[in-house]
């Protein structure tokens, strides 16, 4: 990979759909195995994280507050959701009952206190950033944690039978996560905010728009208001087909939408319908990255850029994230093809 100076301002321009000089790279998550292979050594610090994101061609490093939602502290051993190393474990969330089934379960659950949330990684990030590089502050999953803690069937039943229980759990989780965004929005070292919370899948929304309006959209709106007040772009991640609620997503103050899941929505159509109000991110299918060829990946990158980048408004990346099972060579091919697009654009402009 040719090393280039990062330019967070170009990334921010792209998120705001202002004229930009090149197509930026953007990912929500990259597995440590991939990052460590790229660097050729373990990642043990924020400085190591920054080195990876910089050398891989990103204009930012994505950082999260540190917080522990692990229910093991109250001896609830089933369906643990926290990962000790901060990575995502691929497992099925409970389809039946989760950790919180009754009001007593909610009262016993040991939620982390606001003063227990750590922001040291942002201080370390600011101290180690190379010139031109920025920080994206990210967290999420208020809606997702609500149903995961109850189990999807338990959540679905409780929405109608015990709505106060669902509301109170959602409120506890939302207040904690919102406090993180308040802190990140106020931090001058943070350049943009990224909220992630899956509300859909390839065939439709996970729940009705009415339920989302009760347990999801109020939180997204509050985060959007924080972003606008701080003058920082807001990226929102969700998988799935979103046409039924796209106007509501935009109304919440979202500037950029990730990852435009290939099986759910076609990038060109989303660009035609919403590209004047949303920057689009991603759309290289993870299955292609895992099982396709390098040339197929390169062709898809070129197709995405042609469909969604008209001088701004598109960041290249995967259709979800970069798990450890993708072909490393395909991930490198994706990054390299984006870099080639920059050289082509520079030559064209010159």
Convert the pLDDT of each residue in 79-92 to its tens digit: 444 444 444 444 44
Report the alpha-carbon distance of residue 257 to residue 235 in Å, rounded: 6
Domain holding 286, by residue range, is 9-43+272-350
Amino acid 95: pLDDT? 58
Please indicate, yes or no, whether residues 112 and 236 belong to a single structural domain of this protein.
yes
Please indicate, yes or no, whether residues 96 and 220 belong to a single structural domain of this protein.
yes
Please indicate, yes or no, whether residues 230 and 88 belong to a single structural domain of this protein.
yes
Classify residue 16: in a domain, yes or no: yes
Write down which residue in 258, 283, 298 finishes a domain. Answer: 258
Classify residue 3: in a domain, yes or no: no
Task: Report whether 99 contacts 149 (CB < 8 A).
Answer: yes
CB under 8 Å to 23, separation ≥6 — which residues?
14, 305, 309, 314, 315, 316, 338, 341, 342, 345
Amino acid 89: pLDDT? 46
Whose tokens are 């009705």? That residue is 208
User: What DSSP state is assigned to residue 125?
Assistant: H
Please indicate, yes or no, whether residues 201 and 346 belong to a single structural domain of this protein.
no
Sheet holding 314-315, edge to edge: 60-63, 134-140, 192-196, 234-237, 256-258, 279-281, 314-315
CB under 8 Å to 223, separation ≥6 — which residues?
178, 181, 193, 195, 234, 252, 253
pLDDT average, residue stretch 152-176: 96
Ranking 5-9, 108-112, 215-219, 275-279 by mean pLDDT, the lowest is: 108-112
Q: What count of residues does the chain have?
A: 350
Supply the CATH number for residue 243's domain.
3.20.20.210
Amino acid 71: pLDDT? 55
Amino acid 188: pLDDT? 97
User: 3-state class of 53 per DSSP?
Assistant: helix
Write down which residue in 234, 258, 282 finishes a domain. Answer: 258
Please indicate, yes or no, whether residues 114 and 231 belong to a single structural domain of this protein.
yes
Please indicate, yes or no, whether residues 194 and 74 belong to a single structural domain of this protein.
yes
For residue range 179-207, list pLDDT tens digits in order. Answer: 999 999 999 999 999 999 999 999 999 99
* % of the chain surpassing 70 pLDDT: 89
Residue 98: pLDDT band by 50, 70, 90 thresholds? confident
Please indicate, yes or no, whether residues 247 and 281 belong to a single structural domain of this protein.
no
Report the alpha-carbon distance of residue 26 to residue 11 in Å, rounded: 9
Classify residue 249: in a domain, yes or no: yes
Q: Please write down the HEC assignment for all residues of 219-242.
A: HHHHHHHHHHHHCCCEEEECCCCC
Please indicate, yes or no, whether residues 79 and 157 belong to a single structural domain of this protein.
yes
pLDDT average, residue stretch 257-270: 98
Classify residue 54: in a domain, yes or no: no
Write down which residue in 228, 258, 288 finishes a domain. Answer: 258
**H or E segment and range at residue 108:** helix 103-108
CA 98, 104, 108: angle at the middle one, nearest 5?
Answer: 85
Residue 344: pLDDT band by 50, 70, 90 thresholds? low
Number of structural domains found in the chain? 2
Task: Report whether 282 contacts 315 (CB < 8 A).
Answer: yes
For residue range 166-182, list pLDDT tens digits in order. Answer: 999 999 999 999 999 99
Q: Which pair of structure tokens corresponds to residue 226?
A: 């924080």
Task: Evaluate if residue 221 carries a pLDDT over 80.
Answer: yes
Amino acid 1: pLDDT? 58
For residue range 51-81, list pLDDT tens digits in order. Answer: 999 999 999 999 999 998 875 544 344 444 4
Please indicate, yes or no, whether residues 219 and 249 belong to a single structural domain of this protein.
yes
Distances (CA, A) of 157 to 54, 126, 168, 200, 204: 46, 45, 15, 19, 20
User: What DSSP state is assigned to residue 267?
Assistant: H
Count Cα atoms within 13 angstroms, Cβ side, for 52: 25
**H or E segment and range at residue 136:** strand 134-140
pLDDT average, residue stretch 197-219: 97
pLDDT average, residue stretch 32-52: 97
Please indicate, yes or no, whether residues 232 and 285 belong to a single structural domain of this protein.
no
For residue range 225-236, list pLDDT tens digits in order. Answer: 999 999 999 999
Classify residue 114: in a domain, yes or no: yes
Q: What is the phi/psi pair of residue 83, to 5°? A: -115, 130
Please indicate, yes or no, whether residues 156 and 246 belong to a single structural domain of this protein.
yes
Please indicate, yes or no, whether residues 226 and 317 belong to a single structural domain of this protein.
no
Q: Which pair of structure tokens corresponds to residue 101?
A: 């089934």
Q: Which pair of structure tokens corresponds to residue 299?
A: 């062709």
Amino acid 317: pLDDT? 98
Classify residue 292: in a domain, yes or no: yes
Classify residue 2: in a domain, yes or no: no
Question: E-strand spans in 271-349?
Answer: 279-281, 314-315
Task: Evaluate if residue 346 carries a pLDDT over 90.
Answer: no
Classify residue 346: in a domain, yes or no: yes
């Amino acid at each position: 990979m040719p090393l280039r100076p990062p330019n967070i301002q170009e990334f921010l321009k792209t998120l705001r759909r202002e004229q930009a000089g090149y197509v930026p790279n953007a990912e929500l998550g990259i597995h440590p195995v991939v990052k460590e292979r790229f660097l050729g050594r373990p990642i043990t610090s924020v400085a190591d994280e920054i080195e990876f994101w910089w050398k891989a061609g990103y204009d930012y490093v994505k950082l999260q507050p540190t917080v522990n939602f692990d229910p093991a502290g109250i001896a609830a051993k089933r369906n643990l959701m926290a990962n000790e190393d901060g990575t995502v474990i691929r497992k099925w969330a409970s389809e039946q009952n989760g950790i919180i089934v009754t009001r007593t379960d909610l009262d016993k659950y040991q939620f982390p206190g606001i003063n227990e949330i750590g922001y040291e990684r942002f201080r370390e990030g600011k101290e180690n950033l190379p010139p031109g590089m920025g920080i994206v502050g990210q967290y999420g999953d208020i809606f997702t944690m609500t149903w995961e803690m109850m189990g999807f069937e338990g959540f679905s039943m409780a929405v109608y039978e015990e709505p106060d229980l669902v509301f109170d759990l959602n409120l506890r989780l939302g207040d904690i996560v919102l406090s993180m965004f308040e802190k990140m929005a106020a931090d001058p070292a943070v350049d943009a905010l990224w909220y992630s919370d899956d509300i859909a899948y390839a065939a439709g929304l996970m729940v009705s728009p009415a339920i989302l309006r009760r347990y999801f959209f109020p939180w997204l709106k509050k985060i959007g208001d924080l972003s606008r007040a701080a003058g920082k772009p807001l990226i929102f991640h969700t998988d799935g087909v979103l046409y039924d609620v796209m106007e509501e997503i935009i109304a919440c103050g979202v500037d950029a939408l990730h990852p435009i899941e290939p099986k759910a929505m076609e990038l060109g159509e989303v660009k035609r319908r919403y590209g004047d109000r949303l920057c689009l991110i991603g759309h290289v299918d993870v299955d292609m990255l895992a099982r396709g060829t390098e040339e197929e990946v390169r062709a898809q990158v070129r197709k995405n850029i042609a469909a969604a980048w008209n001088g701004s408004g598109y960041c290249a990346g995967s259709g979800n994230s970069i798990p450890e099972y993708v072909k490393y060579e395909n991930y490198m091919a994706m990054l390299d093809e984006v870099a080639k697009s920059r050289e082509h654009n520079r030559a064209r402009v010159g």
